[in-house]
Amino acid sequence: MNKRAAMLSGRAGWASFGYALIAAVIVFAIAIANPLPADDGAAESQGADSQGADSQGADSQGADSQVARSGAAPDLCAMQVRDFARPETHRCGDGEETVAAVALNATGEMRPSQATAGTLLFRSGSGRDGIPAPLLDTDVVIRVSGMVARAQVRQTFRNPYNDWHEGIYVFPLPENAAVDRLKMRIGERVVEGAIRERVQAKKEYEQARQNGQRAALLEQERPNIFTSSVANTGPREDIVIEIEYQQALRYDSGRFSLRFPMVVAPRYIPGNALPSPSHAIDVARAELIHGEEGASPDPTVGRGWARNTNQVPDASRITPPVQRPEDGALNPVSIRVELDAGMPVARVVSSYHAINQRKVDERSQVIELRSGVTPANRDFALHWEPVKGTAPRTAWFTEKRGDATYGLLMVMPPAAEKRVKRIPREVIFVIDTSGSMSGTSIEQARLALQLAIERIDRKDRFNVIEFNSNARKLFPDALPADSDNREVARRWVGNLQAQGGTEMARALDLALDGQTHPDRVRQVVFLTDAAVGNEEPLLAMLSERLGDSRLFTVGIGSAPNGYFMTKAAQVGRGTFTYIGNVEEVQEKMGELFGKLESPVLKNLRIDWPRDAVVETWPARIPDLYVGEPIVVTAALSPGAAGERARGDARVSGLRGDEQWESKVSVQRDTGSEGVAALWARDKIDALMDAKLDGADGEQTRELVTAVALEHRLVTKYTSLVAVDRTPARPKSEGMRSSTIPTNLPAGWNYDAVFGSAIAGELPQGATDSRFNLLLGGVLLLAGLMLLAAQRSAGRMSAARVRAQVRVGPVLASRGRLVSTSSRWTLSL
Amino acid sequence: MDAFALKRRALTVAAVVLLVCGAWQTGQGAYIHVKAQLAQVLIQRAWHRTLAGEREVRPWPWADTWPVARLVMAEPDVDVFVLAGANGRTLAFGPGHRFGTPLPGEGGNSVVGGHRDTHLAFLRDVHTGAVARVQRQDGAWTSYRVEGTRILDKRDTWVMANDGASRLTLVTCYPFDALRAGGPLRYVVLASAL
């Protein structure tokens, strides 16, 4: 009895020795898997005692994953998120996971690789380079009323660290957003933002930043790219900024659409790097920025991954760091749309996100994301259709501001009644095959193009151009669309691969000839995600070389550049459409073809009641394709506002050789808030367009600034800035400054963008082979020692046991899970 | 089953799991090197066919790359084939030519990337003045003289800029002895055509 007890305790001793050994091995493995970057010593020691809250994803099964708010439970797992290795190098079967729990208890760390498929982790913005950034949550509320939307975007900058932080976030908004409000919330207090000239706003922000005052700055980089900066977020403090904008909605083919972009896709930056001693990267490297050092007031200096070039002089401002998708998702967004369509709604469709709808009445609904939050990695697109027969043919909204009255007029022309004489067409398809298209985008583009080629009338002519770092034509000249040529083209398109840069200018050069073609209609269909930083030079080139061709843009992928899509279509006198997944290709291309094949409505003009109007934008109404309404904003003369009651506006145009005319009453005053902002936004848009066509830059700046200051709009030349009066940060304490990393757009291929686009990064040249060999050796050694220990324990017990052990190790091989359920029989 | 048997069993399971994981990791590490060496043999065949006039010869049927140049050095002793494309998939089989830059031997700045622990491990022994010879697809040879080496951040893409001068730029990861892949530093060898 005694002997047996002694034996048992002996065995127990061996066993605990074994467990301790395993734990030690795993801790060691984790330690070598996570080496401290040698050049980052200061940051790391700083990070080690700061309690960076790793965000937690709710563990959920299946595809319909539940998502937890970043940092919702920061204390569950307080750690500094460092360099995350690729998951596959760590997945080591069930064995490691259970044992890793020991390591978790011992060291307080949790491996992100334990996340199983279907789990969505939002984590702290610490990038590969180990610079901790504040976390960012976004909550969006969009109130739709008829044709207009008012949106509030709440960005919460969360500082989970024990020191002071400045966060800089580069994010997108709709390209036609009239951003007119910024509020900063610190706890209960609210600081209202003021509109300033950009340089002045930056100065005020900078001053506050150095004084230790909390401050927020909102700048515009492109009509659809904005930067928010929030300074002096205290230890473990949240600062909320609320951005508001007004937007006219798209109404096309009987459908209203609302698009909310969530991520600025990595942009291709052409051109040669500008020499700049104070470049962003150096600024970013000087991590700990003390009060007396300041950022440059130069509006072209940013901290992105790209350097400024001669073609994109502000490249460093529009290229925020991008997190590798396998390192988890960032920046959760919640969206709530309060829809008042103004007429009975037949159906509401969200193209890319699952939604919950709550009907208020037949024309009103509340729409929210089914998952609660979603990572900011693709556009949110919502469409709704009026019940048949209730679709509006005309609309008129007004807002009084001071003396002036502003109006928004919409007129939907009727569909063409008879077919007009057919004119021969020449269609040039241009497909973007750059690295950014790699992944799902190129599949959508190929499919769309093949469908389009099928659809061309055999009496028409066509050609295909692909472009990445270079551009090439399929045929030297456009050829008739007979079945042979179409087959050649279909096969050629099917083999296209996406890699390399986005030298779009070369494609435009091949596609446009600057000529007029009296004998035919020349249409250029441009399939791209327009992930480029040089929109302005491209648009200027387009305007110059267009001739009488028409350009139709097809925005591909999860985060197309809406500014380029709409503006290129406008300059190119065509129209635009979006394709965000393969299922949409058929329908969207069908609609586009409807437009290509139907005659346009041109020579459009509006005759306002006498003396009623001062300014209408756009000044020249563009040609309309089938399904498109006329939408203009107008400022009415103050004197005439009273007498205007007598007037009808007369809208007329020419379709083929058929005259069309319609009268709209513009008597009512509807008191619709936000129309003035839309008018100002349209005016600014027109002024910026004039600059593309060669208007003086300085003069444009002055004109735009005047309108923007009057209407409190954020533009390229004006910013909103909010400063809290009392200093918060003591002079003795420094502040860290960092750019918040963004997600890679859904469906994109990281390596195709940063591994092969010229402007991305130098090629990566290393494997994990050393690590694999070392870890493998250590594990083998540990296993053998354990077996040896087992054996000697077995000898002590003097019993030979035939153990049948059933193991189902899950071996991760090259990222794919291979499950082997073999039986291991061991004779010990 | 008594506690004793359970413990034995747990120990055995743990040992087996450790051994399996160890074998898998070791295999993984060895596989990278075996693949790297074996691929070059197949690529050599593809290169001979390329020299004979074929274009875009895929070394194995499902390859998405093909040899575009041969790189030879006397000191250190090097003879490798450069593949089209410098993405991760290609670099497992050989150094890769960066898409969008001129092909080696064609004038302009040709950029070639590779792994510091396989094909471009030799770069740490390359010194200023060394001569690298590159054979083009048409068989012609160009010689480059190493002008210097630099340790750069991965964002320092200026070394890839094309100023028209005929150059060869070889890029690999740095430091050479780092255990894991994915660091921010790059080791760059700059060479000019003779």
**A737-755, pLDDT tens digit by residue?**
888 999 999 999 887 787 6
**Is the link from the previous residue into B76 a cis peptide, with omega within 30 of 0?**
yes
**Is there a contact between B18 and A756 if contact means CB atoms under 8 Å apart?**
no
Q: Which residues of A touch B18 (CB under 8 A)?
A: 22, 25, 95, 779-780, 782-783, 786
**Is there a contact between B19 and A761 if contact means CB atoms under 8 Å apart?**
no
Structural domains in chain A, sorted by start: 391-416+601-711 (2.60.40), 425-597 (3.40.50.410)
B188 and B132 Cβ atoms separated by less than 8 Å:
no
Domain boundaries, chain B: 30-193
The DSSP call for residue B93 is T
Residue listed under structure tokens 């450790």: B18
**Is there a contact between A805 and B160 if contact means CB atoms under 8 Å apart?**
no
**Is there a contact between B182 and A128 if contact means CB atoms under 8 Å apart?**
yes
Q: What would the two tokens of residue A784 be?
A: 């053998």
In the predicted structure, residue A543 carries a pLDDT above the cut 80? yes
Query: How many Å apart are CA B59 and CA B90, to the nearest integer?
Result: 12
Displacement of CA B98 from its chain's centroid (Å): 12
Query: How many Å apart are CA A233 and CA A155, to the nearest integer?
Result: 13
A628 and A609 Cβ atoms separated by less than 8 Å:
no
A157 and A167 Cβ atoms separated by less than 8 Å:
yes
Q: Which residues pair with A479 in a beta bridge?
A: A462
A325 and A440 Cβ atoms separated by less than 8 Å:
no
What is the least distance, in Å, from the CA of A120 to any CA of chain B? Answer: 23
Query: How many Å apart are CA B109 and CA B96, to the nearest integer?
Result: 14
Buried/exposed A117-147: b ≥16 CB within 10 Å, e otherwise = eebbbbbbbbbbbbbbbbbbbbbbbbebbbb
Query: How many Å apart are CA A17 and CA A11, to the nearest integer?
Result: 10
**Is there a contact between A783 and B32 if contact means CB atoms under 8 Å apart?**
no
**A214-269, pLDDT tens digit by residue?**
999 999 999 999 999 999 999 999 999 999 999 999 999 889 999 999 999 999 88
Between A and B, how many residue pairs show a Cβ–Cβ distance under 8 A? 254
Q: What would the two tokens of residue A758 be?
A: 């010229």
What is the least distance, in Å, from the CA of B165 to any CA of chain A? Answer: 15
Cβ atoms within 10 Å of A390's Cβ, excluding its own = 15
Query: How many Å apart are CA A747 and CA A756, to the nearest integer?
Result: 17
Mutate to test the interface with B, among A83, A469, A762 (most CBs of B within 10 A): A762
* Separate counts of helices (H) and strands (E) for chain B: 2, 8
Q: Which residues of B touch A33 (CB under 8 A)?
A: 180
Give chain A's mean pLDDT: 77
Long-range CB contacts (< 8 A, 24+ apart) of B172-175?
B172/A765, B172/A766, B172/B113, B172/B114, B172/B115, B172/B116, B172/B120, B172/B123, B173/A764, B173/A765, B173/A766, B173/B115, B173/B116, B174/B116, B175/A38
Q: What is the three-class DSSP state of B6?
A: helix
In this structure, of A38-42, A461-465, B110-114, the range with the lowest mean pLDDT score is: A38-42
Q: What is the three-class DSSP state of A215?
A: strand
Query: Could you give phi then psi for residue B10, rounded to 5 degrees?
Result: -60, -40
Mean pLDDT along residues A748-769? 72
Listed residue (A123, A205, A139) closest to A166, CA to CA: A205
Q: Does an H or E element contain B152, and which?
A: strand B141-153
**Is there a contact between A761 and B116 if contact means CB atoms under 8 Å apart?**
no
**Is there a contact between A769 and B8 if contact means CB atoms under 8 Å apart?**
no
**Which one is predicted more confidently, A76 or B37?**
B37
Nearest CA in chain B to A799: B5
Q: Which residues of A touch B172 (CB under 8 A)?
A: 765-766
B188 and B150 Cβ atoms separated by less than 8 Å:
yes
A35 and A128 Cβ atoms separated by less than 8 Å:
no
Query: How many Å apart are CA A700 and CA A688, to the nearest integer?
Result: 7
What is the least distance, in Å, from the CA of B27 to any CA of chain A? Answer: 8
* Separate counts of helices (H) and strands (E) for chain A: 15, 38
pTM comes to 0.70
In the predicted structure, residue A497 carries a pLDDT above the cut 70? yes
Q: What would the two tokens of residue A232 be?
A: 């002096």
In the predicted structure, residue A800 carries a pLDDT above the cut 80? no
Query: How many Å apart are CA B189 and CA A294, to the nearest integer?
Result: 36
Q: Does an H or E element contain A182, and which?
A: strand A178-186
Amino acid at site A727: P
Listed residue (A44, A169, A28, A15) closest to A739, CA to CA: A169
Query: How many Å apart are CA A435 and CA A754, to the nearest integer?
Result: 8
**A290-313, pLDDT tens digit by residue?**
333 444 556 677 777 777 888 888
- Candidates A12, A92, A765; nearest CB to B171: A765
- For residue A795, what pLDDT is reported? 65
Query: How many Å apart are CA A784 and CA A796, to the nearest integer?
Result: 18
**Is the link from the previous residue into A386 a cis peptide, with omega within 30 of 0?**
no
Buried/exposed A726-760: b ≥16 CB within 10 Å, e otherwise = eebbeeeeebbbbbbbbbbbbbbbbbbbbbbbbbb
Q: What is the three-class DSSP state of A522?
A: strand
Do the bridges between strand A735-739 and strand A164-172 make them parallel or antiparallel, or are there none, so unpaired? parallel
Distances (CA, A) of A242 to A150, A151, A359, B193: 13, 10, 27, 57
Q: What would the two tokens of residue A264 be?
A: 């600025």
A151 and A248 Cβ atoms separated by less than 8 Å:
no
Tell me the torsion sign for CA atoms A258, A260, A264, A265: negative
Tell me the torsion sign for CA atoms A73, A78, A81, A86: negative
What is the least distance, in Å, from the CA of B33 to any CA of chain A? Answer: 8
- For residue A9, what pLDDT is reported? 43
Q: What would the two tokens of residue A716 be?
A: 């390229």
- Candidates A12, A751, A766; nearest CB to B181: A766
Residue by residue, pLDDT tens for chain B (194 residues) are 577 788 888 888 888 999 999 999 999 989 988 988 888 899 999 999 989 888 788 888 888 888 999 999 988 889 999 998 887 778 889 999 887 678 888 777 888 999 988 888 899 899 889 999 999 988 889 999 998 888 888 767 777 776 667 889 999 988 888 888 877 888 999 999 98
Q: Does an H or E element contain A649, and which?
A: strand A648-655
In the predicted structure, residue A490 carries a pLDDT above the cut 70? yes
Query: How many Å apart are CA A367 and CA A144, to the nearest integer?
Result: 11
Query: How many Å apart are CA B178 and CA A767, to the nearest integer?
Result: 10
Q: What would the two tokens of residue A191 be?
A: 């600081």
- For residue A131, what pLDDT is reported? 54
Cβ atoms within 10 Å of A439's Cβ, excluding its own = 21
A630 and A411 Cβ atoms separated by less than 8 Å:
yes
- Candidates B19, B29, B91; nearest CB to A769: B29
Q: Which residues of A touch B28 (CB under 8 A)?
A: 768-769, 772, 776
CATH architecture of B30-193: Beta Barrel (2.40)
Cβ atoms within 10 Å of A362's Cβ, excluding its own = 13
In the predicted structure, residue A597 carries a pLDDT above the cut 90? no
Tell me the torsion sign for CA atoms A626, A458, A471, B98: positive
Share of chain A above pLDDT 70, in %: 74
Q: What would the two tokens of residue A679 be?
A: 């008018």
Listed residue (A58, A275, A39, A469) closest to B151, CA to CA: A39
**Is there a contact between B87 and A756 if contact means CB atoms under 8 Å apart?**
yes
Listed residue (A664, A462, A442, A662) closest to A556, CA to CA: A442
Query: How many Å apart are CA A447 and CA A621, to the nearest integer?
Result: 34
pLDDT band with cut points at 50, 70 and 90 for residue A626: confident
Q: Does an H or E element contain B44, and which?
A: helix B3-51
Amino acid at site A103: A
**Is the link from the previous residue into B104 a cis peptide, with omega within 30 of 0?**
no
